[in-house]
């Protein structure tokens, strides 16, 4: 009987233990952590979206009819730019002076473009994609109309894992960090300048040789004419 009474007392004591408080505290803690995590994630997303929107902020793009509009329009808008295209439904006219970049995909500009405002730059579509991929406004020189385009680099490739970093990727990294270009690129530019100078010098030498030859021939003809007169 005494044992039954002790067990009964223990059961009553157990019934008196309030387990709702620690459970509630644990649930509150989990909820709080989840809210903080969501808030942090949202803040990071908002920050990334803000950075993305600033890339093309203030730029107005116009796409020629040969350019695929869908993904380029989406890219330009997603990164903060304004977009127009050839068509009656375009919000921007082809002659609008606010256009900063006219996107074309042809070897040379048609004569009809001569009447357009001179304040815009004509670029190939890849410039838009490369700028978006690297979150940086790249120089336009390599993307001009008819220019041979640089290699299109995927932002999803990890160069460290691959064990190889393309030369153009190194160049872009230097531009983003405000560093001088790799020596290889400088040497290539220097070699190109030297080759051009050599070609010009050869042309000049060739021209001089031709002039000397013509002068010599003319002198010979004059001497022959004098002899005949004598």
CA distance 124 to 128: 8
- Tokens 């979206």 belong to 49
DSSP E strands: which ranges in the chain?
Answer: 60-63, 82-85, 101-103, 121-123
Q: Give the model's pLDDT for residue 81.
A: 95
**124 is written with which tokens?**
């190939």
Mean pLDDT for back-to-back runs of 10 residues, the chain (230 residues): 52 53 60 61 61 88 94 93 95 96 95 95 96 92 94 76 79 86 56 42 49 56 55
Q: Give the model's pLDDT for residue 146.
A: 92
CA dihedral 80, 86, 88, 90 (to 10 degrees): 0
The count of other CB atoms within 10 Å of the CB of residue 60 is 19
Which tens digit of pLDDT belongs to each residue from 197-221? Answer: 443 454 445 544 555 555 555 555 5
End-to-end CA, the chain: 164
Q: Give the model's pLDDT for residue 196.
A: 37
34 secondary structure, DSSP code: H
Handedness of CA 181, 187, 190, 191 (dihedral sign): negative
- Tokens 């270009």 belong to 181
Is the pTM higher than 0.85? no
Q: Give the model's pLDDT for residue 156.
A: 72
The three-class DSSP label of residue 103 is strand
Q: Give the model's pLDDT for residue 117.
A: 95
Q: Give the model's pLDDT for residue 141.
A: 93
């Amino acid at each position: 009987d005494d044992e039954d009474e002790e067990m009964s007392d223990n059961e009553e004591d157990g019934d008196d233990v309030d387990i709702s408080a620690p459970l509630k505290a644990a649930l509150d803690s989990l909820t709080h952590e989840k809210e903080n995590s969501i808030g942090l994630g949202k803040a990071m997303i908002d920050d990334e979206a803000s950075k993305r929107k600033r890339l093309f902020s203030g730029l107005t793009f116009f796409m020629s009819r040969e350019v695929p509009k869908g993904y380029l329009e989406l890219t330009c808008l997603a990164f903060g730019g304004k977009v127009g295209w050839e068509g009656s439904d375009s919000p921007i006219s082809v002659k609008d002076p606010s256009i900063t970049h006219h996107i074309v995909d042809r070897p040379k500009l048609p004569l009809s473009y001569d009447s357009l405002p001179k304040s815009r730059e004509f670029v190939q579509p890849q410039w838009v994609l490369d700028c978006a991929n690297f979150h940086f406004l790249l120089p336009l020189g390599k993307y001009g109309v008819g220019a041979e385009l640089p290699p299109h680099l995927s932002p999803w490739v990890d160069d460290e894992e691959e064990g190889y970093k393309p030369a153009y990727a190194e160049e872009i990294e230097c531009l983003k960090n405000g560093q001088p270009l790799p020596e290889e690129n400088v040497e290539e530019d220097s070699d190109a300048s030297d080759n051009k100078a050599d070609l010009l010098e050869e042309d000049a030498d060739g021209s001089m040789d031709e002039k000397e030859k013509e002068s010599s021939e003319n002198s010979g003809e004059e001497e022959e004419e004098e002899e005949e007169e004598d």
